[in-house]
Amino acid sequence: MMFGGINSTGAIIDGIKKGEANDILLPNQKERVQKVAVDIGGSLAKVVYMTSGPRHQGGRLHFTAFETDNVEQCVKFMHKLLDGDDEREGTERPVIMATGGGAHRFRDLLSSERRVEIRVEDEMESLTAGLNFLIREVADEVFTYAEDRPMEFVEAGAEDEFPYMLVNIGSGVSILRVAGEGQFERISGTSLGGGTLWGLLHLLTGERSFDAMLGMTKSGDNTKVDMMVGDIYGNDYGKIGLKASNIASSMGGVYRKTLDKQYDDADIARSLLYMVSNNIGQIAYLNAQLHGIRRIYFGGYFIRGHPLTMHTLSYAINFWSKGQMSALFLRHEGFLGATGAFFKTEPRAEAAEENGLEVAADVSEEEGAVADSLGAAMAAATTHRVEERVAADAAASTGGRRRGRRGTAAAAKTYSFTENFSIAGSITDAVGSLGMLDRAPARLMALPQLASSAAQPYQPDTVDLTRAPQLQAYWISAMERNTHGLLELAADGALELGGEARLTQFVALYLDHLRRLRERPLAYGAMSVRALLGLREQCLHEVGLDDIFASIKRRETDAALAALPPLLAHVDAISSPRDRLRLLLHNVLAGNMFDWGSTALRGALANGSLDLERARDQITWRDSFANADRFLDRVDHGPAYARALVFVDNSGADVCLGVLPFARFLVAHGTSVVLAANSRPALNDVTESELLAIVRRAALVDECIAQAVDDGRLVVCGTGSSEPCLDLRKLDERLVRLSHGADLVVIVGMGRAIHSNYHARFSCDSLKLAVFKNQMAADAAGAHIYDALCKYVPGSGT
């Protein structure tokens, strides 16, 4: 389908925006478009823009938001996006499609760049157009929420699509009845909306960040400030269907003298979230009743994929309709208006389409990269928070259902994201994104090369701590120690925290989990090193610490890339391919010593006393030597591998000086290589987006890498994971697609090849490369600390 000059056929949600997530891919959109859409509301300005893919292989829609208070920044950002193309001959003026109240209020500001044309679109029209577009064109956009099935996708049935109701929860709430394309009526609304929650919570708690408020709701107990039915009746009031646990009066419990006026911010936050959401849910239900409507969509930035909010709205609809209706949610719920404005069909574009003309130009991917470098003054900080577990459950509950309307090969991966743009690195005045279902792939799949049988099923974890009380105690203590090490790094100013409060919150949260696990080891299910490490990442994400190693990673990567050309020259000067490969393997292992997650090594890394050479000397080969030789024999004498799938580990020396030169060797010997990196940050592991940039930079200094990238023989893909370990049953489906035909699987790092996958077997050849950097992990494998793991196993063929 064409909308506003854009081909939306086959639109899918994708996790890779320059390696990052949650954009919508438009694979059939061949031309670039030079327009940006913005919906400036009372609280937030939401921006939608498109970049074109590499070699114009389709478009990519991006979604980002700014506080309306910072509208100047937002406008600057949009103008920058539209920079650069106006000099091209014959191109039209770039356009900002603007909607929302701010399109009028900030008209002069928007028009401050004369070369940019401003088109103001009606807000409600944009909202419904955006919703219609997302429902119809984007696969796996709409879902229902229940605690046990947090993301059940809903197929858009053509017949019963209309009429539906949209409850848009922004600063205030608008309720629209939508009868068809462009046919809608605002049937109701309420002034008790998102702005109410934001404002009241600010008054009551002093907090100003909405994300922090949502964060608080998680630990709060509303019964401390609400008056419950049980407080009044002492029990259920079953006769009229009220349970003791129902809220009788929001905030009504505050007056009780027993509380002694000791109120906790978190309790207040939770109570008010319930109050606002329940109220909206009830008004929504009543309107649906009144207008005989069964489909209720909830939109607006207020929702943010926040489980508690969705639970409350769902519960309210379910409760009042006695199970007859359910609330429908959207993965781009905050961007309905901006999306509608973006796809607004302009007469000019339509005419061009009809004439078979190309619609004029665009925002290129490079220009999209202004997001990373908005002049010298602007620093970009992307905050993504992930609730992996919710997403994993969501993936499990969707069970591979797929929407194939209009023949679209549909796949969904991520939830909405927001990028923070802030002056001089401060993030306090920018919008964060707490979307709890954030950026998690909806479809996670097993690696096809995993050899798993009923007798020997695949189990990612090497040691099941559940059955080993002593090991349990050791690893819990190790994690505590390790976390205190992080605090020392933080005290040295080495970590990216954006405020101390978050670090304190994180430490309290994680240590509290560890305490609970010490008391009740099975509280969260089976315990493993992988789970403990993963839990730490979740806690970091939960308080908004998305990438505390960002600056360390950048610094180490810059240093490593500077050392790459001489290293490659040195490798190339070795005449025997076998000796060359041996050195390359040794470098992969040495690179793996650059592990900021290791208590043993962190000190040396922090004081800069470790370099690749020294790391190489520190490693002991022992029986890995013989194993490496077997791999060298295979490469020497066997046919070239067709395709290698390499699970990479750390940024800096590990990936730049270890893995990349090794991958270069493989591609030079006729193997195509897929580098699989974490989709989102964990410790100092390189992420997909970082790795893409690294490969691009390496291609600038090395012809072999440049050629391989150009020919598609060296590609980067996200694993779907954001943990230091790896569960090979849960890989991003794009990676699984790319792994078809792989006859060599390489796994790098202690997290991925020792704590997990140490016993994993594959139908094709596999190579595990890591260093034992922890005494207990070494002991468990009968190894010594700093022993190399170089485990080559020919494929089992099963």
Ligand X SMILES: Nc1ncnc2c1ncn2[C@@H]1O[C@H](COP(=O)(O)OP(=O)(O)O)[C@@H](O)[C@H]1O
Note the residues at the interface with ligand X (CB under 6 A): 41-44, 100, 170-171, 194-195, 197-198, 210-211, 300-302, 304, 334, 431-432
Q: Is the peptide bond before 163 cis (omega within 30 degrees of 0)?
A: yes
Instruction: Decide if residue 547 touches Mn ion (CB under 5 A).
Output: no
Residue 593: partners with Cβ closer than 8 Å, 6 or more residues away: 601, 610, 615, 618, 619, 771, 773, 786
Q: Which of 132, 278, 650, 672 binds ligand PAZ (CB under 6 A)?
A: 650
Q: Which of 217, 449, 557, 592 binds ligand PAZ (CB under 6 A)?
A: 592
Q: Which of 387, 546, 595, 732 binds ligand PAZ (CB under 6 A)?
A: 595
Please give the distance of CA 536 from its chain centroid, rounded to a whole number: 16
Question: Are 651 and 684 a contacting pair, CB within 8 Å?
Answer: yes
User: Can you tell me the distance from the alpha carbon of 341 to that of 121, in angstroms, rounded to the nearest whole number?
Assistant: 6
Q: Which of 276, 765, 774, 787 binds ligand PAZ (CB under 6 A)?
A: 774
Q: Which of 156, 167, 316, 478 binds ligand PAZ (CB under 6 A)?
A: 478
CB of 39 to ligand X, least distance (A): 6
CB of 750 to Mn ion, least distance (A): 7
CA nearest to 677, candidates 707, 711, 722, 644: 722
Q: Tokens 């690294």, residue?
A: 694
Q: Apex CA 543: angle with CA 216 and CA 720, to 5°? A: 125
Site mask for Mn ion (CB under 5 A), range 671-710, x = bound: --------------x-------------------------
Site mask for ligand PAZ (CB under 6 A), range 680-719, x = bound: ---x------------------------------------
Burial class (CB in 10 A: 0-12, 13-18, 19+), 520: exposed
Among the listed ranges 349-357, 394-402, 439-447, 592-600, the one in contact with ligand PAZ (CB under 6 A) is 592-600
The residue among 23 and 649 lying less far from Mn ion, judged by its C-beta, is 649
The residue among 461 and 649 lying less far from Mn ion, judged by its C-beta, is 649
The residue among 202 and 518 lying less far from ligand X, judged by its C-beta, is 202
The residue among 196 and 739 lying less far from ligand X, judged by its C-beta, is 196
Among the listed ranges 205-213, 340-348, 747-755, 787-795, the one in contact with ligand PAZ (CB under 6 A) is 747-755
Among the listed ranges 7-15, 387-395, 567-575, 768-776, the one in contact with ligand PAZ (CB under 6 A) is 768-776
The residue among 571 and 605 lying less far from ligand PAZ, judged by its C-beta, is 605
Among the listed ranges 102-110, 328-336, 606-614, 750-758, the one in contact with ligand PAZ (CB under 6 A) is 750-758
Among the listed ranges 155-163, 274-282, 305-313, 770-778, the one in contact with ligand PAZ (CB under 6 A) is 770-778
Instruction: Decide if residue 5 touches ligand PAZ (CB under 6 A).
Output: no
Tally: H helices and E strands in the chain: 28, 28
Q: Which of 268, 465, 533, 660 binds ligand PAZ (CB under 6 A)?
A: 533
Q: Which of 365, 649, 702, 787 binds Mn ion (CB under 5 A)?
A: 649
Q: Which of 326, 751, 769, 792 binds ligand PAZ (CB under 6 A)?
A: 751
Per DSSP, the three-state class of 4 is coil
User: Can you tell me the distance from the alpha carbon of 798 to that of 440, in angstroms, rounded to the nearest whole number?
Assistant: 31
Instruction: Decide if residue 651 touches Mn ion (CB under 5 A).
Output: no
User: Can you tell me the distance from the alpha carbon of 390 to that of 148, in angstroms, rounded to the nearest whole number?
Assistant: 9
User: Can you tell me the distance from the alpha carbon of 475 to that of 521, in angstroms, rounded to the nearest whole number?
Assistant: 12
Instruction: Decide if residue 652 touches ligand PAZ (CB under 6 A).
Output: no
Q: Among all residues, whose Cβ is closest to ligand X?
A: 41
Residue 240: partners with Cβ closer than 8 Å, 6 or more residues away: none
Burial class (CB in 10 A: 0-12, 13-18, 19+), 258: exposed
CA nearest to 388, candidates 757, 726, 645, 23: 726
Instruction: Decide if residue 560 touches ligand PAZ (CB under 6 A).
Output: no
The residue among 19 and 100 lying less far from ligand X, judged by its C-beta, is 100
Residue 604: partners with Cβ closer than 8 Å, 6 or more residues away: 610
CB of 342 to ligand X, least distance (A): 15
Q: Are strands 44-52 and 35-40 parallel, antiparallel or unpaired?
A: antiparallel
- Tokens, residue 79: 């103008």
Characterise 690 by phi-psi region: left (phi > 0), alpha (psi -120 to 50), beta (else).
alpha
304 binds, among Mn ion, ligand X, ligand PAZ, none (CB under 5 to 8 A by kind): ligand X
Per DSSP, the three-state class of 527 is coil
CA nearest to 51, candidates 372, 289, 298, 531: 372
- Tokens, residue 752: 């991925």
Among the listed ranges 348-356, 396-404, 427-435, 594-602, the one in contact with ligand PAZ (CB under 6 A) is 594-602
CA nearest to 178, candidates 190, 191, 170, 168: 168
Neighbours of 174 (CB within 10 A): 20
Instruction: Decide if residue 650 touches Mn ion (CB under 5 A).
Output: yes
User: Can you tell me the distance from the alpha carbon of 324 to that of 422, in angstroms, rounded to the nearest whole number?
Assistant: 46
CB of 108 to Mn ion, least distance (A): 50
CB of 683 to Mn ion, least distance (A): 5
The alpha-helical segments, DSSP class H, found in 573-676 are 577-591, 599-606, 612-618, 624-637, 653, 660-668
User: Can you tell me the distance from the alpha carbon of 319 to that of 92, in angstroms, rounded to the nearest whole number?
Assistant: 53
CA nearest to 686, candidates 494, 587, 557: 557
CB of 482 to Mn ion, least distance (A): 13
Phi, psi values for residue 650, rounded to 5° = -85, 160
CA nearest to 25, candidates 79, 54, 62: 62
The residue among 24 and 726 lying less far from Mn ion, judged by its C-beta, is 726
Instruction: Decide if residue 408 touches Mn ion (CB under 5 A).
Output: no
Instruction: Decide if residue 651 touches ligand PAZ (CB under 6 A).
Output: no
* Total number of residues shown for the chain: 798
The residue among 104 and 740 lying less far from ligand X, judged by its C-beta, is 104
CB of 166 to ligand X, least distance (A): 12
CA nearest to 684, candidates 602, 604, 597, 605: 597
Among the listed ranges 91-99, 709-717, 730-738, 748-756, the one in contact with Mn ion (CB under 5 A) is 748-756
194 binds, among Mn ion, ligand PAZ, ligand X, none (CB under 5 to 8 A by kind): ligand X
Map the footprint of ligand PAZ across residues 716-735, applying CB under 6 A: 724
The residue among 557 and 650 lying less far from Mn ion, judged by its C-beta, is 650
600 binds, among ligand X, Mn ion, ligand PAZ, none (CB under 5 to 8 A by kind): ligand PAZ
Q: Apex CA 438: angle with CA 412 and CA 440, to 5°? A: 50
Question: Are 536 and 529 a contacting pair, CB within 8 Å?
Answer: no
Q: Which of 35, 413, 730, 755 binds ligand PAZ (CB under 6 A)?
A: 755
Binding site for Mn ion (CB under 5 A): 649-650, 685, 749
Residues interacting with ligand PAZ, by CB under 6 A?
Answer: 478, 482, 533, 592, 595, 597-600, 649-650, 683, 724, 749-752, 755, 770, 773-774
